[in-house]
Amino acid sequence: MKKNLILPIALCSAVMIFGIGKGISFFSDSSNGNPVTSFSSTNEIKKTNEFSKKYSKPFEATPASVNWPLIADVTTKSLEGNLESGLVYPTAVLKTEVNSKVDFTGDGIVDSNIDFYQYSGTSNSWTGTGSTTVIDETKYVQFDVNATNGGTFTINRVEALVGGAGTSNMYYQAFYSLNADFSDRVQIKSATQLTPSGKAQTLDVTLATSVVISGSQKFYLRFYPYLASATTGKQFALRNVKISGIMEGDVANPATVSTTAVSSISTTTAKTGGTISSNGGGAISESGVVWSTNQNPTIADLKTTENATSGPYISSLTSLLPNTTYYVRAYATNSAGTSYGSQVSFTTLASIVAPAVTTTSQSQVTNKSFVVSGNVTDWGGADVTDRGIVWSKTETAPSLDNATKVSTGSGLGTFSSYVYGVSPSTLYYVRTFATNSAGTSYGSTATVTTKATDPDVIRTIAKDGSGDYTTVQAAFDAVPDNYTGRWIIHIKPGTYTERPTLLAAKSNVFLIGDDAATTIITNNISAGDINPDTGLAYGTSLSQTMAIFGSDFTASKITIANTFVNSTANTQVNSQTQAVALKTQGDRQAFYDCRVLGYQDTYLGNSIGRAYFKNSYIEGNVDFIFGRQTVVFDHCTTYINRNNSVVTAPSTESTTKFGFVFLDCNLTVPAAGTADFNGATISNFHFGRAWQNTPKSAFIRCETPSMLNPTGWTTPINGVIPVTFVEYGNTGDGATPERLAQRANGGVVLSQAESLPYTISNVFKKDTDPSFLFDWMPESSINIDFETLAVNNIKGNKTLVYPNPFSDQVTIAYDLKSNSDITVMIYDVNGRIVKNIKKSNEKSGQKELVIPTTDLKSGVYFYTLKNDTEQTNGKLIKN
């Protein structure tokens, strides 16, 4: 089972309480559903139906309830009946946030929802109770309800949606009480594990004995979330919490309704609506909006009929006249009469025009890319079908006719457009645009100057002190943020026992070894070990030997290992035996000729992003390749080191098209009869199993041994969820026709046509996930020959001849300590001079010499750089 991984969320959705009561309150400040601009409700009853005791309508045993959606905030609720209600939680212990981690609607897509989490300082950090049946009394979410106007509320039912994401180790219990200190509580839900992760559970409890409250009495409902073991990064949430039953009373009060601001105003149409926050204790028989060219319209004027009985509703106004002022009010009718919301006025457009759009900002400017943001503030009376930016090097007022377009969706609101592949040190002109049926409009012109490409830099790590650093972490720490050139770190052979982390701001880093067999970064931390910085267990996602957060990272010829073994003996001492060797969390991260060694949970792709492994070796046993990242394993080797191993446990997001993709890989196993570290004979393993979200794994043209279980895929970790588990063209004893026919647990054998999307270029396309900014095609190989790199000391950094290999030109950077003549000569392999460049009386300082090389043939060259007192030599390669 996955344990203690960050980003899990336990969620309880919409809670309702049902009951019966006498008397009804006039409650006017509740709304339900998505947040909208709303006008203070003014309940007006038609004179013929004006509310008073004289015209009151008696009723008995009317359904009543309160419902908290908990989608966008903790205050929105919907009341049916004369009720008052509240929600509280210990703010010194719990915080709330809006997140999208659990599927509440059952469509396989996670939904936005309020969640609760325990915090310590500024971090999400949960304490453990030590048992799956023991709650933490300090962490709860409490709902309360009481009858008003002397009514009696008989409560007989409690409902909610409760789910979890990212963990199957969170539990909850639910109780009610009639006491403010929550004494004499009654349990309505015993210890319940929030699993499967990412899929909501339904809580629907009919009380064994109905609870009757009246006067000042309140009914208190509490949900207690908890974990047996301390961990970090977990959340708990609820949706549609509902308390319901029967209300008994004498009369119905007027309903409480508010009018929604008018939007989407065109020449003949507009949209508005209302919110019924209380039905006044009487059933709503009709609702909608009324409108007129005269003020204070009533149901005698034009109206819509929406049949909403509680919460928000939307009404469309049609057949309006252009350039005309209208007045609108929401209404709701119950047995006490018709109530109206406040009046809202608007004027229709005289004609449809192009949208209004502004250029708001520029950001993320690098040597290759930039972002320009905008805002479509007015639709112009017709749907905005396209929006984005246009950019040009030469056109000072770029347009769709003369510039390059980047489309970024449609509709109103803010947006950001990303441009990739531009030239360094170049001025660009950029404008936002928006298009509807009437035409296209533009924002103001922004000028963006891209950054220069920084010179390549080489640093060396050596255990013996002969390099710039003796540890990987020291080398990572020295990388400047947002460096635009290649920052190449040469790690010499040795065993580096440490836990290095490359931070997200440190991009374009190369970590290059000489031989993976002799260049080893290792540690021995498990999920259950105590982090001395926090006093809590590390948890799976913080147990890694090496973490890479920076994008555009490249590693070659190194080993990353976690040597903690998930043996039976270790499990008896420490039940949390997950031990990550490598964690990647970023985009465009590539590993060539590397080894990643571990046992349980060897490699974690921890975020939405892309990673690439070429000619690499990954070893482990339980779910040893797991996480959310889109990862291609190209001509790689996997190896299992325990019986009943599982290669992959993906938790791919629903928005991401591909998860783990194995292309032309070799799934290797020990020799027949080999015993694992527990003494069991290794004889069985699976491709993978579902973890959370919408898992996706693919094995294409891979070599499979007979130890591969005929089902291919094993049962899911957290219950049945939608999966994409596919294979095509596999070979070996594990992929015979007889074996393929037995695939199970969601495994599918693709046809040749169905396998075509599984290519490196297609998997790494921009449209694989909405967060990817551009297509990525990693290099097929990395070969940095450190003997070809000329070294000069500039600002304390060793700079390189770059690029090397080169095509049309090569740059030599050098630092003159004093004024001097400079000579650069380039020789071919026969010693003939093919370039001879001289510069007289060069001033001291940092210099760059750009040498055109289009006249040189492909091959190896050598150069000499001389000044008046010294010279340096190096090797060059022309592509």
Residue 828 · residue 798 · CB < 8 Å: no
What does the alpha-carbon distance between residue 747 and residue 648 come to, in Å, rounded to a whole number?
13
Residue 341 · residue 313 · CB < 8 Å: no
- Whether 27 shows a pLDDT value over 50: the answer reads no
pLDDT of residue 849: 86
Predicted confidence band at 60 (pLDDT cuts at 50, 70, 90)? Answer: low
Share of the chain above pLDDT 90, in %: 69
In a domain, 781, yes or no: no
Residue 149 · residue 247 · CB < 8 Å: no
Mean pLDDT of 79-93: 92
List C-alpha distances in Å: 520 to 366, 477, 514, 597: 33, 19, 11, 10
What does the alpha-carbon distance between residue 381 and residue 355 come to, in Å, rounded to a whole number?
8
Q: What's the pTM?
A: 0.69
Residue 344 · residue 263 · CB < 8 Å: no
Share of the chain above pLDDT 70, in %: 91
- Whether 46 shows a pLDDT value over 60: the answer reads no
Helix (H), strand (E) at residue 67: strand 59-68
CATH number of the domain to which 643 belongs: 2.160.20.10
**Which segment of 151-155, 530-534, 624-628 scores lowest on mean pLDDT?**
530-534
User: Residues 472, 595: one domain?
Assistant: yes
Span 490-514, pLDDT tens digits: 999 999 999 999 999 999 999 999 9
pLDDT of residue 20: 36
In a domain, 786, yes or no: no
Place of tokens 């304390």: 796
- Whether 308 shows a pLDDT value over 60: the answer reads yes
User: Residues 581, 705: one domain?
Assistant: yes
Nearest to 665 by CA among 693, 692, 625, 627: 625
User: Residues 709, 598: one domain?
Assistant: yes
pLDDT of residue 693: 86
List phi, psi (to 5°) of 553.
-100, 145
User: Residues 870, 833: one domain?
Assistant: yes
Question: Could you tell me where the beta strands, DSSP code E, fall in 235-308?
Answer: 235-249, 256-263, 270-278, 286-292, 302-303
For 411, which DSSP code? S
In a domain, 809, yes or no: yes
What does the alpha-carbon distance between residue 2 and residue 695 come to, in Å, rounded to a whole number?
14
In a domain, 788, yes or no: no
User: Residues 441, 525: one domain?
Assistant: no
In a domain, 432, yes or no: yes
- Is the CA virtual torsion 535, 537, 541, 546 positive or negative? positive
Place of tokens 């022309």: 878
State the amino acid at position 670 in one-letter form: P
Predicted confidence band at 17 (pLDDT cuts at 50, 70, 90)? Answer: very low
User: Residues 271, 364: one domain?
Assistant: no
Residue 250 · residue 26 · CB < 8 Å: no
pLDDT of residue 687: 98
pLDDT of residue 58: 46
**Which segment of 199-203, 469-473, 580-584, 705-709 scores lowest on mean pLDDT?**
199-203
3-state helix, strand, coil in the chain (%, to 5): 5, 45, 50
Nearest to 289 by CA among 325, 341, 224, 251: 341
Task: Give the bridge partners for 842, in sequence order.
Answer: 820
pLDDT of residue 787: 59
What does the alpha-carbon distance between residue 542 and residue 539 come to, in Å, rounded to a whole number?
6
Greatest mean pLDDT range, 5-14, 777-786, 798-807 = 777-786
Place of tokens 């073991």: 229
In a domain, 377, yes or no: yes
Domain residue limits at 679: 457-767
Nearest to 758 by CA among 730, 731, 720: 730
What does the alpha-carbon distance between residue 636 and residue 624 come to, in Å, rounded to a whole number?
14
What does the alpha-carbon distance between residue 400 and residue 383 come to, in Å, rounded to a whole number?
19
Span 357-393, pLDDT tens digits: 999 999 999 999 999 999 999 999 999 999 999 999 9
Residue 468 · residue 460 · CB < 8 Å: yes
Q: How many CA atoms lie within 13 A of 686 on its CB side?
A: 24
- Whether 56 shows a pLDDT value over 80: the answer reads no
List C-alpha distances in Å: 854 to 423, 455, 826, 836, 873: 20, 21, 14, 15, 22
Place of tokens 């750089």: 865
What does the alpha-carbon distance between residue 447 and residue 192 come to, in Å, rounded to a whole number?
57
Among candidate residues 234, 249, 264, the one where a domain is terminated: 249
Mean pLDDT of 75-86: 88
CATH number of the domain to which 830 belongs: 2.60.40.3080
Mean pLDDT of the residues in the chain: 88
What does the alpha-carbon distance between residue 379 and residue 97 come to, in Å, rounded to a whole number?
31
List C-alpha distances in Å: 272 to 260, 262, 315, 622, 705: 6, 5, 5, 55, 64
Nearest to 716 by CA among 697, 729, 742, 739: 697
Span 719-749, pLDDT tens digits: 788 899 999 999 999 999 999 999 999 999 9
Question: Distance between terminal CA atoms of the chain?
Answer: 50
Among candidate residues 319, 347, 375, the one where a domain is terminated: 347
Span 814-832, pLDDT tens digits: 777 778 888 999 999 888 8
- Whether 798 shows a pLDDT value over 50: the answer reads no
CATH number of the domain to which 425 belongs: 2.60.40.10
Mean pLDDT of 466-482: 95
User: Residues 840, 762: one domain?
Assistant: no
- Whether 794 shows a pLDDT value over 60: the answer reads no
- Higher confidence at residue 277 or residue 642? 642
Q: How many domains does the chain have?
A: 5
Cis peptide before 196 (omega within 30 of 0): yes
For 843, which DSSP code? P
User: Residues 340, 364: one domain?
Assistant: no
In a domain, 773, yes or no: no
- Gyration radius from the chain CA atoms: 33
- Higher confidence at residue 331 or residue 124? 331
User: Residues 618, 719: one domain?
Assistant: yes
In a domain, 3, yes or no: no
- Whether 9 shows a pLDDT value over 50: the answer reads no
What does the alpha-carbon distance between residue 399 and residue 407 come to, in Å, rounded to a whole number?
13
Cis peptide before 803 (omega within 30 of 0): yes
List phi, psi (to 5°) of 475.
-65, -40
Query: What amino acid positions are annotated as catalytic residues?
Result: 601, 623
Mean pLDDT of 177-201: 91
User: Residues 669, 690: one domain?
Assistant: yes
User: Residues 189, 261: one domain?
Assistant: no
Nearest to 580 by CA among 569, 596, 559: 596
User: Residues 504, 445: one domain?
Assistant: no
Measured in whole angstroms, how far is the alpha carbon of residue 95 from the centre of its chain?
A: 20
Among candidate residues 210, 230, 249, the one where a domain is terminated: 249
Span 528-584, pLDDT tens digits: 999 898 888 899 999 999 999 999 999 999 999 999 999 999 988 888 899 999 999
Nearest to 102 by CA among 184, 10, 30: 10
